[in-house]
Structure 1
Amino acid sequence: MAEAAILVLRTCVTLLALPIYILSFLGLWEPFCEKIFFPFVMDKLSTIQEKKTKKHKLELFRNLPDFKSPSGELKLLEIGTGLGTNFQFYPPGCKVTCTDINPNFQKGLSRNMSKNQHIHYERFLVAAGEDLHQVPSGSVDVVICTFVLCSVHNVNGTLKEALRVLKPGGAFYFLEHVAANPSSWKHFWQHVYYPTWKLVFAGCCLTREIWKNLEQANFSELNLKHIDVSLPWTPVEPHIIGYAVK
């Protein structure tokens, strides 16, 4: 019965978004979404998202200095840097390599770079999380990944790359929205919206159980918490937060 209801409601949502599906079929939506729509929407929503997640990020990143190398240097790589909203939480003097599959966030990224001169920006790489071949193995102390694993093509592949580039004893930090409890209405509506949401929001998947990927990855230690971060009018909740050590 629930599956039938999901199918009916999913069809209704698809019909409402029919112009986008047509543009996608013609090969016009993805370039527009990547270059204009998604950067614009993220720029507008980032303020709301940051207000909701700031206290969680302050707690999450407070032990970043613990992972400095013996020389006192902290080399940090961020997967899916986007607008650079995490820069404010990084410790002074750390060296940051920014990566993103979408190079069209220049306006917001430049704004956050200029506001956060306490860190050293080493380089920006256009790269997918699953393919960080431009980054040498065992070369960074910390990898940061927030609100990115929902949209990568391969979660396990991204975690494998994070492990590869980390030094032994280095840490992978994460904050992600995940699938809701299967018995909840949130879970029901996530499955209703899933295909259209994924198309409109650049591959964002609402139903991933990312905590399972983290549990199965080859980290020596995993510190993970399930939390609720309510983002108004969106099905992107609940969340997981924490860090894993190589």
Structure 2
Amino acid sequence: MSILMHACTLVVKILILPLQLWELLGLYRFYKRVFPILTYYVSFSYNRKMDEKKRELFRDLLRFSPRDGPLHLLEVGCGSGANFQHYPSGCNITCTDPNPHFKDYLQKSMDKNDHLVYENFVVASGEDLRVVEDNSMDVVVCTLVLCSVKNTPKVIQEAIRVLRPGGAFFFLEHVEADPSTWTYFFQHVFKPLMYYIGDGCETTRATWKHIEAAGFSDLQLRHFQAPLFFLIRPHILGYAMK
């Protein structure tokens, strides 16, 4: 199976040579303008299918509210703001995303969800959140972000840095499938293509291992099969306390 998988992956890499050339020539940067449009409209379908799971995950947010004020939440890789509808009223939101072209679609989500207080939108990668002070957040949220960052452990460590003691890191991510499955096989075969379609997305990340190794004081993590396209069906969700 391993030989067949590598052979099929090589075929895919050959077929996407034009995409690799466009990236080398700098033409792929245009896709970063298009990607927010695609993400905005795809998010409606994803939210509909994952509504129950998101409700299950985010109903625990209020556990981490301070006694003397509103919940302060940082969303890393906020995209178009697809999670806003699930956040509790009065929550103070700071958003970061490395793609500045999400701003218009983020504003649409902000206008729809006026039960929240929006502090700031910062163009920044998850690996470098220097604009956010140490120990300043009650909650950090990452959903469908750790599949495309360049350094997963660094993003998690940045989340730990900005969380106050007792704060929590919430996550919902698609991950690598069990190696005994055909999903695992096709995740690896189509990984080169998915990288370009998903703006850096990798379908073969065992993200849970990085979360488990990060040194959180408590971890609530669950694997499940999402009702989605089979390549991104394996998911994890949960939260981890600093």
Query: Would you call these one fold, judging by a TM-score over 0.5?
Result: yes
Q: SS at 2:208's partner residue?
A: helix
Q: SS at 1:97's partner residue?
A: strand
Equivalent residue, structure 2, for 1:66: 63
Does the 8 Å contact 1:179/1:237 carry over to 2?
A: no
Does the 8 Å contact 1:80/1:101 carry over to 2?
A: yes
Letter in structure 2 aligned against 1:20: L
Equivalent residue, structure 1, for 2:47: 50
Equivalent residue, structure 1, for 2:81: 84
Question: Structure 1 residue 198: deviation in Å?
Answer: 1.2
Equivalent residue, structure 2, for 1:243: 239
Identity among equivalent pairs (%): 47
For structure 1, the 5+ residue unaligned runs are: none
For 2:42 and 2:10, how far apart are their aligned partners in 1? Answer: 27
Give me the CA root mean square deviation. 1.3
Matches within 5 A, 1:224-239: 224-232=221-229, 235-239=231-235
For 1:32 and 1:236, how far apart are their aligned partners in 2? Answer: 25
Matches within 5 A, 1:2-17: 2-17=1-16
The total of aligned residue pairs comes to 242
Q: Does 1:201 align with 2:201?
A: no
Q: Does 1:219 align with 2:216?
A: yes
Question: Structure 1 residue 237: deviation in Å?
Answer: 2.2
For 2:22 and 2:3, how far apart are their aligned partners in 1? Answer: 28
Q: SS at 1:104's partner residue?
A: helix
Letter in structure 2 aligned against 1:158: V
Question: Structure 1 residue 16: deviation in Å?
Answer: 3.5
TM-score, normalized by length of structure 1?
0.94
For 2:3 and 2:38, how far apart are their aligned partners in 1? Answer: 32
Question: Structure 1 residue 124: deviation in Å?
Answer: 0.5
Letter in structure 1 aligned against 2:232: V
Question: Structure 1 residue 203: deviation in Å?
Answer: 1.0
Q: SS at 1:168's partner residue?
A: strand
Question: Structure 1 residue 201: deviation in Å?
Answer: 1.6
Runs of 4+ in 1 over 4 A off after TM superposition: none
For structure 2, the 5+ residue unaligned runs are: none
For 1:46 and 1:73, how far apart are their aligned partners in 2? Answer: 27
Letter in structure 1 aligned against 2:47: E
